[in-house]
Structure 1
Amino acid sequence: MGVKFGREYEEIIEELTGAMSGVRNCNELFEMSEEDWREMDEQERKDCITTLADDIFYGLGAEPTMSFGSCQIVYDRDNHLIKIAAEEKVVHIIRLI
């Protein structure tokens, strides 16, 4: 079905990347130790998360709820939003239109 959006795709991915960058232990999703993750420079870490954000964005079109580390990412079709929740609280909302 796909995620419907009206904003610039790059803006959505940039916002999703920013939200995902703050997730605790996100290095585990890349099967990297904390030490290896820290050894990467900031741009390398951002590139990894941006690639994953892109995958998650398209994945939400087929599966409207996905996990990312300790967070749940939910595509709210009716309201054209992506919600990122941690510990059952919405911590970030990305508007798609």
Structure 2
Amino acid sequence: MGVKHGRDYEGILTDLTQAIGRIPDRYVFFEMDEEEWSRLGVTEQLEVDEALAEDLFYALGEESVIPVGSGVVIHDKDQHRIHILIGEEELTFVPLI
């Protein structure tokens, strides 16, 4: 189902892809190790990031907190945002409206 949003889906997906790209070990979400990730080219890494962003968008409709590598992705229904954190530090957020 995904999260409720008022912005264009493609814009949200682009922003979310860039945001999760800030999590250095995001590849762990797909059960990859650092060596496997480093063997991918830049284009392939971007494709994996886009797939992850899409998976997260839909999964956040069911689960409001999803761990991604050393980070966590949180759907804040009240603020209409998706927050990306590592530990207590917020890396960025993606507005949904």
TM-score under structure 1 length normalisation:
0.89
Deviation string, structure 1 residues 52-73 (Cα, Å, up to 9, x no partner): 1111111111111111111111
In structure 1, the residue matched to 2:95 is 95
Count of residues in correspondence between the two structures: 97
3-state SS, counterpart of residue 17 of structure 2:
helix
The 1:81/1:3 distance shift into structure 2, 3 A limit, reads: same
3-state SS, counterpart of residue 32 of structure 1:
coil
Identity percentage over the alignment?
38
2:22 and 2:91 in contact (8 A); partners too:
no
The 1:2/1:44 distance shift into structure 2, 3 A limit, reads: closer
Structure 1 segments, 4+ long, off by >6 Å, are none
What one-letter code is carried by the residue in structure 2 that aligns with 1:10?
A: E
The 1:40/1:2 distance shift into structure 2, 3 A limit, reads: closer
Task: Tell me how large the CA RMSD over aligned residues is.
Answer: 1.4
What one-letter code is carried by the residue in structure 1 that aligns with 2:71?
A: C
Q: CA deviation at 1:32?
A: 2.3
TM-score under structure 2 length normalisation:
0.89
